[in-house]
Structure formats: structure tokens, C-alpha cells
Structure 1
Amino acid sequence: MEAINSKVQQVLQGNHTLKSSGKGKTVLITGGSGFVAAHCLNAFLSRGYNVKTTVRSQSSAEKIKKSHAKYIAQLSFAVVPDVATPGGHDEAVKGVDGVIHTASPYLVNVDNNERDLLNPAINGTTSVLTSIQQHAPNIKRVVITSSFASIVDMDKNPRPGYTYTEKDWNPVTYATAANPSTPGVIAYLASKTLAEKAAWDFVEKNRPNFSVTTICPPMVYGPAYHTISSLDHLNTSSAEIYELINGSKKEVPPTGFFAFVDGRDVGEAHARAYETPEAGGQRYFCTAGGYTYQQICDIIREDFPEKRDLVPEGNAGEPYPDVYKVDNSKIKKDLGMAFRDLKTCIHDQVAEFIEIEQKTKA
């Protein structure tokens, strides 16, 4: 690890990227049209890997070809309409050297918690792992996108004085999450928690030839690497930021989760977790630190004066609240990660929104 960290210090000054050559190797990335998955695609493709990615339809594949056009020769696709279907990944896992499993629903407004959130997340994870074990014995590393949702205890929120690490687990139960009266956001948190636990249980029970690493990002912001067909149909976290500059929010929203990370860093973390031998069997809290929506509004109002009148002012410059803290020391130490700060993350995301607006008007 010392050699890795030394290399990081040399290369990581401005671009946060430590690239190795994946030439000749192929990884499977599930759910390639997603926000996080697109960043994972970029991290691996830019390293020279061939990437096979699963999509629900051919139309999704065409969008990925457009967003990652410079890497088209390294891309291939497998259509998997339903991630939770047993055996659905049997063919997709063949002929690849490793798997990055990102596919999981990110929804909070659902009709049925069990059907729409719990089953797809949990069964999707175990289905992929089963396919690997049965049809791809050469695969040695699987990296799974989990979430801060599987770490945070919302019953104790905002938990002043506490510091969250990889050792923490969200205590929510399946029974609670499946209850029709349970809010969708709690069921979503549970879906990520129970899916990650299912992965670790799978490894313990089946003792497969591969090792698993989980990456747990909190709120993921920053510019998109997937095709944005319309600003009216953004992924959930991006939509929350866009609503701060399009006039639809008149007040600064309350901050629900006091931790963030830039999507570009999440993609990088997945690649490093895949390439680092010592990362096998490890869980990583992938966060840049704490934030509030007030801080985000302050950044936008300062950096984009043309949007100032549309962005809620709130209590500009207010002190950071007395809430839990987050510890990213493990991922920095083991994987040599460095993280973009909130100002860089939000500035680049809003600049992208403005560019899209201008293209749309033109």
C-alpha cells in the first residue's frame, strides 16, 4: 500500500485519478445507464478495460454509446430486462474478468415497498452472485455499490457527537421495511442495507472463488457521465440540485443526510477497489465529508450570479449544524483516494445544467 500511496501523491494532485492499464481485460458493469454506473464505466474505460454492461433495453444501450462514444470500441452490451430474475445474468458474466454490480433501484416514492424496492435490490444482488459462482469460475473480484443507507441509523438522526464509519450498520429490519405504512425513504435505506448483507451472507455461506468488496457512497452529486435526455427527467440526486436553480424551490430544503461525494470519485473508488488485492472482503465508506443544502445554495449563488435570483437564499453562511460526522480514513488509506470538495462538485454540476439549458434554448 505504501507504493500505491506514493504513486497517488505524484499523480493525484489535480485530477484525482490514478489510472492503471486494463488493456485486454474485461469487466461487467451492471445497470450501465445509471448515474453511478456511468461514472464506473468511465473509470474503467479510461483505464483501457473492455467493459460489458447490462441494460434493460437496446434503447438504453444506444444512450450509453452516445455518452461514451470515445470508448465505443471497448464497449459491449447484454440486455437483462429484470436484474432480480434468477439466472438473468448467466450469459452476461461469461467471458469477463470481474464484475461491478451497481444495478439497484433508487426510488423513494413507490406503491409497494417489497415489490418495488426490497425484492429488486436483494434478489438482484444474490442473482448476480449466483450467476458468477455457477458460470464464471475465473472471476476473482466483485465490487458492489452499496450505500451510506446501509450505515446510517435514521432513528438516531442527526446523532450529534457521533462519527459514522464502515463498522456501522443500519439496524432497520425487513419486516419494518416491508410494512405498507413505512415511508418509501426508510424502505429504500433498508433495501440497500439488506442487499449488502445478502452479499456478505452469500460469501459466508457459499465460499465462492471470488472476493467481494462493497462501496458505500452517501448523496452522490456532480456532473453526469450518462446521457441527459431532458432536465425534466434527471436521476433523483441530480434533480434535487437542479430544483435549486430552476426556481421551483423557494426555501432551502432541510438536509436529510449530512454526507456527500462526487460521482467521479465514486467511479474511481470502484476501479481502485477492483484493482487493489487488499480490498477483497472489505467495506468502504466512500464520502468526501459533510454538507448542508444551505452550503450548496451559498455556492451556487456565489459562483453563478445569473442564477442568484432563482436560488433560495436561506441563512447564508450559517454555521455547520451539530450533527454526526463521517470518517473516510479507511478508503483514503487502503485505496489512496482523494475527494473533490463540495464547491468543486456542485460548481461542475450546475455548470453542466446551465450548458444543457442553453443548448435546449438554442
Structure 2
Amino acid sequence: MPIVQAGSTVLVTGANGFVGMWVARTLLEDGYAVRGVVRSEEKGKHMTAHFASYGAKFDFVVVPDMIKEGAYDEVVKGVDAIVHAASPAHFPTAAGGDPDDYIVPAMQGTLEILQSAAKAGPELKRFVLTSSVSAVLTPPTKPWKQRTFDESDWGDECVRIVGNLGRKASGTEAYNASKTLAEQAATEFYNSHKNELSWDFVALCPALALGRPLQEPEAIANLNTSMLIWYRLVFSNQPDDFLQGSYSVVHIADVAKAHSLALIKENVGGQRMIISSGQITWQHTRDIINSIDPKYYASGKLPRGNPELDRTVTSIFKNEKSKELLGITYKEAEEIFADVLGLFDARGWLSY
């Protein structure tokens, strides 16, 4: 029997975000009622309009400050599961900012909703945290060396780097540290209180998620962070040593489906799972895009890079656990990229 059955009510934080909105849609498609948490009435009304076909199955609540004490006390009442997908809204891209501007909201926001969940009624059965492979990895160094990561690994090196460098740490290091510390804080909270709780805890660690945003952005600049980063790195000239580096990718629909599956599988309680289609180098990314349609190279929109480079990936994130426990089948890179390029072409963002 599913631990959280269709027809149950699921609270989704960050519901108007790239991941959160996809999770909300997938849950609705799978028969759940969704209570979305947003930061403003305007964002909630946009979601209500988008999900109008589901009627009363979708509603929203406004939590303007997710780190305020007791912010979630009322909104968690009466739900059967919680998906905590909220995170600070902007990815820091360069050094110079205060890492705490990212780390504190990520950690405190997670702890606030966990504390509220601990006071919720006995109908609450599962808490799913949307973490990231950023909470798993150790940052690679040049020259690239291959390394394999699984669910036993943590991003403690980025935490150490940020602790030592402070504002001199890169934006990526600050982001990775925030995801690591937030998930570790959640895991510690659950392990310290699980004997008192009616619910269990699942952490999902998605790779770089790509796909069509449900928010329907009007311009490339309005894309969500992961899509914008990917676009800027792929459709710009990069040196060979960067192109030989690799990243882990996953389709946003698979990320959303993993969250839905994590509600029904009884044996995933207490588990941490990497959600990833696989790894690919940045040069291989260009090659696949050209194989999808040669117009991208021919038009000059897509820099060719160096097709002679080695395609051996540098960082491998093992996804066997999620495939076994969730029963999920991931979309391959070709399908992921074709979907993204279809969006770009449809919007005229890569006009020829």
C-alpha cells in the first residue's frame, strides 16, 4: 500500500519555482491535492490560473518570510505529506557577496518547516526534501580527474572553502555549501526526533535540471537559474579545459516524478537518493546538439568547441539507488536537450 495515497493532500513549498511548479503539476496529475506555498498573493494567483483545470485540487498559502519563527505552523496542518522545494531565489554567480545571504535562508527555512512539521497532526506521513547533487560533490580541480559520488558523499569541502574564504569564495561554492548545510541540518533534525514523529524523511538530490519551465518565461533572461546557467555555458565560447569538464543532468519531468514516487514507496523512508540521468562533458553536449539538428553549428549560434577532445566524464553520480527504490527510468541527454532546444526555437531565442 502506498504510504501517501492518491487523493491525499501534499504541501509543496517553493511551489511557483521551476522545480516546485513541476512537482505540483505531477502530483496533481497523479491524483493528489496540492497546497502550494508561495511568497506573494500574485504568485499564488498565477499558479491558480495555471492549474485551473484541477479546480479545488489546488490551492495556495502565502508565506512571505520562510525563516520567520512559526512561519509554517498553520500551513502544515491537515496535510498528509510535505515536499520542501523552496530555496533562496537567486544563485550567486561570483565572489564578493556574503555567503550567509544564501546559507542562512537555506538552513533556517528548512529547519523552520521541519519544526512546524514536528507539531503537525498524526496524518502527516512523509517529508520529502529537495536537496541537490551540490550537497554530494567535492568540487573538481584541474587537471580533471575522474571521481565517483554516491549517497554516502557530502559537499563538506565546499563548506570548508566557504568557511575559510568568506566573501572571497565563489558563488558556486557558496551555493554548494548552502545545499550541503541545509540537508545536513534536516537529516540531523530528523534523526534526533524520529522516535517522536508520525512521519519519515526522504532527501532527493537532483542533478542540473533542464526542461521547459511551466512559468512560460518571456525572454532568456527570465529563465530559471539552472536553465540560464546551461544556456550561457553552452551557447558561448569556452576553453578546452572547461569543455573537458563534465556535469550531471536530469530532465525536470523526471525530478518531479521522483518526488511523486517518493510519496508512495514505503521502503524509501529515511533514504537519500541521487536523481540523475547521467553525466556528460560540455563538449559532448555541443556534439549532441549538433546531431539533433546541424543548424545550430551551421548558423554560428552554437560554438563548435573542440570535437577532438576526450569525452571521458570527470564526475560520476551513481543513480542506481533511485532507479532501484523508486523504479524510475530517466530520460537520456538527447531527449533532454531536444526538449530545451524546442523551447528556445519556439520562442525565437535562437533565431537564424
Same fold (TM over 0.5): yes
Question: Within 1, Cα distance between the matches of 2:250 and 2:80?
Answer: 28
> Is residue 2:66 matched to residue 1:83?
yes
CA-atom RMSD in angstroms: 2.7
Question: Within 2, Cα distance between the matches of 1:342 and 1:349?
Answer: 11
Partner of residue 208, structure 2: 219
Q: Deviations over 1:101-151 (max 9, x none)?
A: 000125123764344210111001100000111133321100000111111
Equivalent residue for 2:11, pick from 21, 24, 28: 28
Worse overlay, 185-194 or 160-169: 160-169
**Alpha carbons of structure 1 residues 252 and 219: separation in structure 2 relative to 1, 3 Å:** farther
Amino acid at match of 1:45: L
Partner of residue 95, structure 1: 78
Equivalent residue for 1:104, pick from 61, 84, 87: 87
Equivalent residue for 1:163, pick from 139, 144, 148: 148
The answer on whether the counterparts of 1:98 and 1:142 sit within 8 Å (CA) in structure 2 is yes
The answer on whether the counterparts of 1:244 and 1:312 sit within 8 Å (CA) in structure 2 is no
Paired residue secondary structure (1:291): strand
Partner of residue 108, structure 2: 123
5+ residue gaps, structure 2? none
**Alpha carbons of structure 1 residues 301 and 101: separation in structure 2 relative to 1, 3 Å:** same
**Alpha carbons of structure 1 residues 252 and 63: separation in structure 2 relative to 1, 3 Å:** farther
Q: Deviations over 1:276-321 (max 9, x none)?
A: 1111000001111101222222232332444432111112364313
Amino acid at match of 1:41: A
> Is residue 2:50 matched to residue 1:50?
no
How many positions carry a matched residue from both structures?
Answer: 340
Amino acid at match of 1:333: E
> Is residue 2:222 matched to residue 1:233?
yes
The answer on whether the counterparts of 1:251 and 1:313 sit within 8 Å (CA) in structure 2 is no
> Is residue 2:46 matched to residue 1:63?
yes
Paired residue secondary structure (1:154): coil
> Is residue 2:307 matched to residue 1:316?
yes
Question: Within 2, Cα distance between the matches of 1:299 and 1:72?
Answer: 41
Question: Within 2, Cα distance between the matches of 1:164 and 1:184?
Answer: 22
Q: CA deviation at 1:51?
A: 0.3
Amino acid at match of 2:266: P
Paired residue secondary structure (2:280): coil
Equivalent residue for 2:121, pick from 104, 111, 136: 136
Q: Deviations over 1:181-233 (max 9, x none)?
A: 22121011010001000011101222222111000012111222333243221
Equivalent residue for 1:113, pick from 98, 102, 116: 98
Paired residue secondary structure (2:34): strand
Determine what percentage of the aligned residue pairs are the same residue: 31
Worse overlay, 71-80 or 159-168: 159-168
Paired residue secondary structure (1:232): helix
Partner of residue 189, structure 2: 202
Q: CA deviation at 1:58?
A: 1.5
Q: Deviations over 1:254-275 (max 9, x none)?
A: 3665211111100011111111
> Is residue 2:326 matched to residue 1:335?
yes
The answer on whether the counterparts of 1:89 and 1:128 sit within 8 Å (CA) in structure 2 is yes
Amino acid at match of 2:332: D
The answer on whether the counterparts of 2:246 and 2:313 sit within 8 Å (CA) in structure 1 is no
